[in-house]
Amino acid sequence: MALDPRWPLALFRGSLPVALGLMLYVAIAGGEQERQQTLRAQPEGNPAALAERRRHNELIMLALREAAQTDDNVAQRPVPWRK
């Protein structure tokens, strides 16, 4: 059984997208650690800002829960969680 002369060309053409994908993955994955460090260094990452954001979210959820439990138009009254 003889090897078809088109096989090497077909294997080469099939391996090009795989090689390109691997090169892109290596290029992107290399910058992932740097991106993680940048995200950690942002000022929003400190515990005080996170606690403030958590409290703000709690107030919003409280207002949404209250709105869901009543038939009144809660959009017309002042809300305590507005900054």
Distance (Å, whole) CA 12 – CA 25: 20
* pLDDT reported for residue 71: 79
Enumerate residue ranges in the chain where pLDDT < 50: 83
The whole-model pTM stands at: 0.40
Domain range list for the chain: 19-71
Are the CB atoms for 62 and 81 separated by under 8 Å?
yes
